[in-house]
Amino acid sequence: MIDNDAYLDFFSKEYLTDYLPKGGVTTKFVVPPLNEELNFIETITSKAHSNGYAVAQIDSATSKVQMIEQIFFGIARQIDWQKLANSFARLAAHSAGYPVPNDDQDLSLAMLAFSYGADEREVKRDINIVLQQKIFKDYSMVGEFRVAMMRLCQYELKSGQVTDLERDSILSWLEGSLKQISLLKSALIFRKITRSNARAMLFSLSRWIVANGYRGFLLTIDIRNFQRANNDLGDATSGITYSRNAIIDAYESLRQLIDNADEFSNFATFVIVSPEFLSNDVRGLSAYQALKLRIYDEVRDKNRDNPYSTLISLSSSKEDSIYDHIEDNLATLNEVKQ
């Protein structure tokens, strides 16, 4: 096993500051030290955030992670869509020749036209051309996502092209709470986010985040709840329980994340697992061989762990310090005896 603190430092150096900003993609299945799982999640997300990454956390106790669309909806509820749209609209205004002096200044077309002594219709036309070029023609993102981001940016510009209802409907659509898709006909969005298109929406989101100046996106998915069967504890506070079929579906979604790595960029996924993930043949990794073949090291050094591998087991740094302290005490006692 690898020391917990040493691995966190290694990942920060090798991935967060080097590999991921260059467009890299990685998926890690991590067995954190016992009772330190939440601390590991908090630490890795904190490191990512301080390095200029957008972050999101998904917990299998509260999200049905066997459904890829539910993973996307859980992420979408943690994204500040307004902030991203406002940021990109400012970039578009700058590219069109109307830079906004500071982040606190109003971004409306009327303000820009007044500031530069220009006709508001011409400002609107110039910025719309930039939005078309930088969003609508960015084919690394799927069409529906591009349309949604265009509309959110236009709303931030107060151009009159997007109503409050349309903007709120787009946000509800992204977060999975939209009741009637007909509300988005005016925005040229005609289908809900489902299993068939959620993965494409996810890799579009990773591109959109980078387009807004972030170095990348880090996602943690805690699936420790998979090991809790329906009849375990009977505690409603322990969250969602998963049948074996649901677990297989979830493993299939995770396997697809690995196989579709070329669709993503600047994207890291940490799947947090319990020790039973490795030992439980019914609900663990061995239940789905396709995933096991992708993450399990069949050939490895028995004396050294590979920090670059997909499956990582960590030991507690606190335990190491305790052992070191015991060894120091024993050495001191031996010296006294002598």
What CATH number does residue 221 fall under? 3.40.50
- In one-letter notation, the amino acid at residue 124 is K
The pLDDT assigned to 335 comes to: 54
Closest CA to 65 of 208, 264, 220, 181: 220
Long-range CB contacts (within 8 A, 24+) of 11-14: 11/44, 11/47, 11/307, 12/47, 12/51, 14/307, 14/308
| CA gap 258, 25 in Å, rounded | 9
102 shares its domain with 34: no
Work out the pLDDT band at 237, boundaries 50, 70, 90. low
Rg over alpha carbons for the chain, rounded to the nearest Å, is 24
- Indicate whether 330 belongs to any domain: no
302-329 pLDDT, tens digit each: 778 899 999 999 998 765 544 444 345 4
Closest CA to 270 of 9, 43, 35, 2: 43
227 shares its domain with 277: yes
- Indicate whether 329 belongs to any domain: no
- Indicate whether 97 belongs to any domain: yes
88 shares its domain with 51: no
Category of 88 on φ-ψ map: left (φ > 0), alpha (ψ -120 to 50) or beta: alpha
Q: Which residues contact residue 129 at a Cβ distance below 8 angstroms, ignoring those fewer than 6 apart?
A: 96
pTM: 0.88
Closest CA to 122 of 103, 88, 160, 96: 96
Q: Which domain covers residue 33, as residue numbers?
A: 2-67+215-324
103 shares its domain with 183: yes
Mean pLDDT computed over every residue of the chain: 89
DSSP state of 150: H
User: How many structural domains does the chain have?
Assistant: 2
Mean per-residue pLDDT for 57-65? 95
